[in-house]
Amino acid sequence: MTDYFKVSPDARGYVAQRYSQELPFPTRRDVQSIEEGDLLMPCFGEDGLVPCITQDADTGEVLMLGYMNRQALSFTITSGYAHYWSRSRRQLWAKGERSGQSQQVEQILIDDDQDCVLVKVRLTGGASCHVGYRSCFFRELEVSNRSTSFRLRFLEDEKVYDPAQAYGTAKSE
Amino acid sequence: MTDYFKVSPDARGYVAQRYSQELPFPTRRDVQSIEEGDLLMPCFGEDGLVPCITQDADTGEVLMLGYMNRQALSFTITSGYAHYWSRSRRQLWAKGERSGQSQQVEQILIDDDQDCVLVKVRLTGGASCHVGYRSCFFRELEVSNRSTSFRLRFLEDEKVYDPAQAYGTAKSE
C-alpha cells in the first residue's frame, strides 16, 4: 500500500475498496495481433510508462496528456477514475486527489501499436488543468502566412478554479 | 537536405520550397512564463522530442499520438502540414509522404508546461492510421462492472484505405 491510500476516499470521489491489485496485462505478441487483434497488449516503455491522452467525453475537447504505469492503468480500469504516474513527484497520482478535479472514465481506447491510451472522461469539478483552466491546452500558437513570432493566444478567458486555493503554494497535483 | 526532399512535392500535397530552416524556438524560462505566459517555449525532452496529439479539426476525433523534434515542429508550422519524427525509422516523417494520407494543419496548441503539442488537422485522404482506419484509436477496451478480460471492441467497421496498396509489404509510413 502506498501513501496514496491514506488520502480520504471521499476526497477522491470513489471508494478505495474497489481497488484490486495490479492487473495481469497480456504479454505483447506479434505485430499482427497487436495492431489488428482484439486483445489488449499495452506497451509500457523502458520507463514503465504508456502515454495517455485524456479527452472530454461530452465535448471531445482534449484535456491533457498524462502517463500511466501498470498500476495507474489497472486502477483506472478498476476504480472508474483516471489515475496517472506523476513523473515529477514519482508516484501514483489519482487525478483530483488534491485539487478535487477528478476524472470519471467513460471509455478507454488503445491505438494501433498499443503504445498510447486514450481515456474519455467526465470532469467532476469542471476543470482538468493544474493551472486552473478547463483544458491544459488553453493556448494556441499564432501563425500568420506560415510564419510565427512564437506568440500564444489564450483560448480560455478565465480560470475555472483557483489553483492556489486547491493546492496551496506548491501548485502541482 | 534529407532524403525526404527527394520525395515528389506533389505526392506530399504541398510545395517543398515553402520550407524554411529550423525555427529558433525561444529558450525555456521560469515556470510562471512557461505555464501562464504568451510565448511558445516548447520542451524537447532528453531524446529531443515533444509528443504531439493530433485531432480532427472538424469532428474532434483524436487521430494519433506522434512525436516531433525541432525540425518536425518547424516544418509543421512553415508548411502547414503535419510532420513528425519517426522513432522506428529514425527520420523526419512528412505525414502522408508515402500513404497520401497527409494532414493539413488548422491550429497548433501547447499545454500548460509546454511539453505536449496538440495539432488540429484536416485529413486530405480521409484516414490517418497506417493500419488503414480513420483514427489510430479504432478499438476500445471492454470493461464490465469495473473488471475486464482485456478484450477489445472495434469501433470502426471497415478500413478507409488498403495499407498494402499504399505502403507495399512494409506497412509503415
- Residue pointed to by grid coordinates 481497488: A19
State the smallest CA–CA distance between residue A147 and chain B in angstroms: 6
Q: Is A151 on the interface with B (CB under 8 A)?
A: yes
Q: Are strands B62-68 and A103-110 parallel, antiparallel or unpaired?
A: unpaired
Confidence category of residue A6, pLDDT binned at 50, 70, 90: very low
Best CA proximity match to A70, nearest among A117, A10, A120: A117
Q: What digits encode the pLDDT tens for the residues B47-59?
A: 999 999 999 999 9
Beta carbon pairs, A and B, within 8 Å: 136
pLDDT for the residue B173? 54
Contact A51 B51 (CB under 8 A): yes
Residues of B in contact with A40 (CB under 8 A): 141, 148, 150-152
Best CA proximity match to B65, nearest among A94, A67, A76, A147: A67
Of the spans A15-29, A62-76, A159-173, which averages the highest pLDDT?
A62-76
Residue numbers in chain B where pLDDT is lower than 50: 1-6, 11-15, 17-18
Residues of B in contact with A39 (CB under 8 A): 150-152
User: Between residues 87 and 106 of chain A, which touch chain B (CB distance below 8 Å)?
Assistant: none
Residues of B in contact with A146 (CB under 8 A): 18, 77-80
Q: What digits encode the pLDDT tens for the residues A96-145?
A: 888 888 999 999 999 999 999 999 999 988 889 999 999 999 999 999 98
- Residue pointed to by grid coordinates 499504399: B166
Q: How many Cβ atoms are within 10 Å of A59's Cβ, its own excluded?
A: 12
DSSP A81: B
State the smallest CA–CA distance between residue B29 and chain A in angstroms: 14
The 10 Å CB-count burial string (b at 16+, else e) for B69-105 is bbbbbbbbbbbbbbbbbeeeeeebbbbbbbbebbbbb
State the smallest CA–CA distance between residue B108 and chain A in angstroms: 6
Q: What digits encode the pLDDT tens for the residues A39-94?
A: 999 999 999 999 999 999 999 999 999 999 999 999 999 889 999 999 999 999 98
User: Could you give the CA distance from residue A103 to residue A56 in angstroms, rounded to a whole number?
Assistant: 9
Contacts of A30 (CB under 8 A, 6+ apart): none
Long-range CB pairs of A4-11 (<8 Å, 24+ gap) are: A4/A91, A4/A92, A4/A94, A4/A97, A7/A94, A7/A97, A11/A97, A11/A100
Q: What digits encode the pLDDT tens for the residues B129-166?
A: 999 999 999 999 999 988 999 999 999 989 999 888 87
Distance of CA A130 to CAs A99, A112, B111, B157, Å?
A: 8, 30, 11, 38
Which of B62, B133, B154 has its CB closest to that of A62? B62
Q: Percentage of chain A with pLDDT > 70?
A: 85
Residues of B in contact with A119 (CB under 8 A): none
Residue A19 pLDDT greater than 60, yes or no: no
Average model confidence (pLDDT) across chain B? 87
